[in-house]
Copies of this chain bind each other. A is one copy, B any other.
Amino acid sequence: MNKDKHLTSDEISGMLKSAGLSATSQRIGLCRYVLCEAKHPTVDDVRSWAAGQGLKTSLATVYNTLHALCKAGMLKDLRFPHSEKVVYDNNVDPHHHFLDDDTGSIVDIPITEFDYKNKLGSEFEIHDVDIIIRGKLKLKD
């Protein structure tokens, strides 16, 4: 999760155009949330945020935009075992996830904690490793 990237509308607009996407007002608005502010939001989260902002956006456009951002590599879609809803992650660098079984909240885990490539036989060509650590997040004291 990139917390508070604080991208300006112009910066977002530029990023969209570099990705070959036209910079519509709904896309810029949604990006402001999904690329900066949001932590692992679902489509519903994005819609609610947009509604709260008075940003007029249809469901189809939310899906279209999120798909376009994923295809452009600006966002990643994740599916966790506890839910059938896709969640989106603006941290597109390799990393893993901790999933709180009680609250459903998701915490990013740096990938350097683990390393397992090249532990399997040569018939396995590894592209990627998804790790979901499930448990309970305890309050620090």
**Residues in A lying within 8 Å of B, measured CB to CB:** 78-81, 84, 98, 101, 107, 109, 113-114, 116, 119-120, 122-140
Query: 7 tightest CB-CB pairs across the interface, nearest first?
Result: A126-B135, A130-B132, A127-B135, A125-B136, A128-B134, A79-B81, A125-B135
Q: Could you tell me the distance in whole angstroms from the C-beta of A72 to the nearest C-beta in chain B?
A: 19
Interface pair A114/B116, CB less than 8 Å apart: yes
Main secondary structure of the interface of A (DSSP, over half): strand
Contact indicator B113/A138 (Cβ below 8 Å): no
Q: Apart from A113-B120, A123-B139, A127-B135, list 6 A-B contacts with CB within 8 A.
A: A78-B81, A81-B130, A114-B119, A116-B133, A125-B135, A132-B132
